[in-house]
Every structure is written in C-alpha cells, then in structure tokens.
Amino acid sequence: MSSRDAILQRIRTALAKPGAASAAPPPVPQVWPRETSQPAALALRFASELKEVHGELIRCTSMEEARQKLVELLDASQWLSIGAVDTLLTRQVAGALDPAQVAWTRSGWPPAEIAELPAGLVAADWLLADTGTCVIACGTPEERLMCYLPPACVVIALTRQLAEHLPAAWQEIARQTADPTRRGEFVFVTGPSRTADIEKILILGVHGPKRLIVILVG
C-alpha cells in the first residue's frame, strides 16, 4: 500500500465512525477583530476602498432610484443591451429596462457570445468594506463568466450585505459551502482587471472587465 492509499484509508475509517459526518465545524478564529457593524460606517469605508482600486460606486436610497440609475448608466455608456445573471436583485434593478435590452443567463451559453456583451449585471452576496471587494455566488459556469468576460461588470448590492472584512462574513459563507446540494463557487471581485509592466504603468481591462460599477442600495 502506498503512502497515498494509507492516508485515504485512514480518512475513510474516520468518516465511517458514527457521527463523524455530522460533527460540528470548529469555531471561526478571530483573525481580525470587528470594530464596527454600522452600515453607514461600512458603506463609507467600502466606497473609499473601491475608489482606490479604480471601481465606481453609485449610491441609491431605494430600489426605484437604482432602477433609474441603471437606465441612465446604459444611456451614458451607450450600451444597447446588457447581460444579467437571473437573481431576485438583478430582476428588481433591471425592472425599468426594456426586456429586449436584457439577456439573461442560460445553460450552455457560449463564452464567445457572453464576451460580446458590453456589460454584465450580477448580484453580490457580500461586500467587504476593508478591501472594496464584492463576493458573488456563481452557481453555473455562465454566471461566473458574466463576472469576467464583458468589458464592464455592474454589481447590485444592498447595504445589509456589507461586512467589515472576510472573517465577519465567513460563518455564513461556510454554512452555504457546507450544503451538499450547493453547486458552483464564490467569485471575489476587487475592482476592474488591472496589471502593470516592469515600469509600473497600470493597465486596466487586460484580463477581465475594464470597468466595475457597484450600485449600492440602502
């Protein structure tokens, strides 16, 4: 028996013991203490960090205002249409658009067609204030590619989805990932795609979207 087989056998033996599969996960270590959970303070920090990574923020007090801002964004950017991941939030914010302007994700959508869209609309599950990061649950390859392939990515989120940092959101993320029926992955988006050469000249949009716009409602 090889070392690999021996390790796998020990794992199988441990999992076969009664109650092994239902054992409670260990507590989440407090790597970074939480200093505040106030939405207003978190929103200010998120806005500051997002600006530092060349992202754009649109603050809205209501979903009705967010719908109008999305219409204005399409007009100002001269986007004739937009791709969108089908979620409750994206359906709500796209409510003022002409149905012909929105292409909703579908199974087997060729990546080349997704890349031809001028922008993709996705919904965030969490916003991390300390880095200006959007955490997006993607259940299918098409949903994940909507974050990457169009030249602009528009993220819709609510202020109640703000967390101070990753450890503050980790317990809920871990709970969701422990669901055996769950498929897909979480995508962490921190600003538009950017890279720099040896002379430290920053170039946006080389490996992904050139623009990241977050519509924050609340």
Number of CB atoms found within 10 A of residue 57's CB? 17
Global pTM exceeds 0.85: no
Residue 141 phi/psi, 5-degree rounding, is -60, -35
User: Within 13 Å and on the Cβ side, how many CA atoms surround 87?
Assistant: 19
| Domains along the sequence of the chain with CATH | 36-217 (3.40.50.10420)
C-beta of residue 160 within 8 angstroms of C-beta of residue 218: yes
Question: pLDDT, tens digit, for every residue of 92-104?
Answer: 999 999 999 999 9
Question: pLDDT, tens digit, for every residue of 6-47?
Answer: 888 888 887 777 665 555 666 666 677 778 888 899 999 999
C-beta of residue 158 within 8 angstroms of C-beta of residue 215: no
Question: pLDDT, tens digit, for every residue of 76-120?
Answer: 999 999 999 999 999 999 999 999 999 999 999 999 999 999 999
Identify any residues that bridge with 162 across adjacent strands, giving them in sequence order: 127
The residue written with tokens 């999305």 in the block is 70
**In which region does residue 205 sit, left (phi positive, over 0), alpha (psi from -120 to 50) or beta (all else)?**
left
